[in-house]
A and B are shown apart, each in its own frame.
Chain A
Amino acid sequence: MKILVPIKRVVDFNVKVRVKPDGSGVDTANVKMSMNPFDEIAVEEAVRLKERGVATEVVAVSCGVAACQETLRTALAIGADRAILVQADGELEPLAVAKLVAAVAKKEAPQLVILGKQAIDDDANQVGQMVAALLDWPQATFASKVEVAGGKATVKREVDGGLETVELELPAVITTDLRLNEPRYATLPNIMKAKKKPLETLDPAGLGVDVSPRLSTLKVAEPPARKGGGKVADVAELVAKLRNEAKVLP
């Protein structure tokens, strides 16, 4: 069984981004880029399924600029077998990425597509669900536990009130939540090995996908600043201030 893992190159989660002075976007020049943390969890899960003998091949795919090759190499170092870059310049919206991933899935015929539940840059939380819809495959989003056996995946999902278990007949789409696993660090020998693993480059036109944007960003702004930093000396002062100044306690 083959697993396809779509991954995104994003601004590292430790970086606090700044809005450009002209309000055209956020400043990503000279900022550390990494694999989206949820996608790392997706790669880890796919590699574990391979190590358990459930999967036979893990294919990582990324859609975007040439620099996404670095991110794909990271996936290969974690344990993916080969990689596909769908190279496209300019920003790709979730719907365009979903169409590209669906087109790659039709070519590769995986039994599972595992991807992160959201990218920490645009926070859209859409691609997995859209891929499932485009392929007419069942979906399990926000997974915190995945078991695959007998042509079925059993997935524990994080929902607003707790947990829900769903069964999916394969092929299917799964999106990862934070508690699915803890991704391993790529070791130096594996990073070296990753450099020799195959990486194929495709383009949207070759896949027959129109990636033109549907949305236009008119402006990007900083959130209103919050004036914090106030201190109280002790519990008595805290309670007094909450009562008399903030008036949030009776």
Chain B
Amino acid sequence: MILVLAEHDHASIKSATHHAVTAAAKLGGPVHVLVAGHDAAGAAKGAASIAGVAKVLHADAPHLASPTAENLAAQVLAVAPSGYTHLVAPATGQGKNVMPRVAAKLDVAQVSEITAVVSADTFVRPIYAGNAFATVRSGDRVKVLTVRGTAFDAAAGGGAAPVEAVPVAPAVTRGAVVTGQELTKSERPELVGARIVISGGRGLGSGENYRKLLEPLADRLNAALGASRAAVDAGYVPNDYQVGQTGKIVAPELYIAVGISGAIQHLAGMKDSKVIVAINKDAEAPIFQIADYGLVGDLFEILPALTAALPAR
């Protein structure tokens, strides 16, 4: 049996879960999804509708409203002994935060960010910013895995799995306490999972230029907005925009890199995009080596022209 820890916002299930379910289904055995949250019946219902899910376990409690790694790990560990061979989570901020705790408590290894399932005990994962892929076999009795969403298609909807309420693990007393959140508000598609992504780098020069030049283009294309580390470090945009080895991993149908040089750490987060466009004034910039369509020139001239060439939605 395989357990997938769901990614959700209590009201609904997030697409990262659908991708993880596809990976889990390749492991052999019924796939169960654990929804740990507060007033999360909506998310549980969403999980039940994912094709290929045999059962949803729903743990609901106030201390799971803004869950900490400590409390989520405790909840996974509470259900884990009922015969699960694999404990799986999407390799999101949450999955990365929680699953190593689970693995350590079970005294087993974790295999991070798998991109392929070779067999029930053998997995492929990127190392060195995706410059190499290792095939590793786990000898542990329970396999703890996180899944890179872009490597597995999203499981379809239309399922109707039963939802079972499970006992809630008590809140961990020696745990972190969440005291605040500053979430980035946006009407645009989420960066991870968007069909088109436009990312801006240091070449934009300021947050004002970033907004002035990239937002109108994003509006026309209904695109998500991303950034290089340099753009985030310089404060043009919030941290959750960062694409790369240590930021978000995206693989949209179209990725437009504007004023980004193409450091390996940035490429690690976007080079699996289907079509890559690079706009850069330096013809030697490494980003052009992986771009399908490179346009050498000044972004301050190109972007307004590109936006004007596209129909308003």
Interface residues of A (CB under 8 A from B): 11, 13, 16-17, 19, 26, 38, 93-95, 98, 117-118, 120-134, 136-142, 144, 154-155, 158-169, 172, 177-179, 214-223, 226, 228-232, 234-236, 238-239, 241-242, 246, 248-249
Contacts and interface: CB of A to CB of B under 8 A. Distances in A.
In the complex, the 9 A-B pairs of residues with the closest C-beta atoms, listed nearest first: A129-B100, A165-B180, A130-B104, A133-B104, A214-B109, A126-B100, A228-B290, A133-B101, A160-B93
Contact of A165 (B181, B238, B246, B292): B181
Interface stretch (B29-37, B65-73, B162-170): B65-73
A121 B129 CA distance: 7
Interface string B124-144: 001111111111111110000
A249 B310 contact: yes
Given A118-B246, A178-B233, A246-B275, A238 B295 contact: yes
Interface stretch (B43-51, B110-118, B206-214): B110-118
* Interface size of B as a range: 35 or more
B254 A223 contact: no
A221 B289 contact: no
Contacts of B312: none
A218 B135 contact: yes
Given A168-B176, A232-B294, A160 B94 contact: yes
Contact of A17 (B103, B128, B309): B128
Contacts of B183: 161-163
Contacts of B184: 161-162
Given A13-B265, A120-B246, 9 more contacts: A130-B100, A137-B174, A159-B240, A161-B184, A161-B240, A167-B176, A167-B179, A215-B111, A235-B305
B235 to A, nearest CB: 10
Contacts of A136: 174
A95 B174 contact: no
A95 B104 contact: yes
B276 interface: yes
A236 B295 CA distance: 11
A129 B240 contact: no
Nearest to A132: B101
Point out which of B132, B138, B291 has the most chain A C-beta atoms below 10 A from its C-beta.
Answer: B132
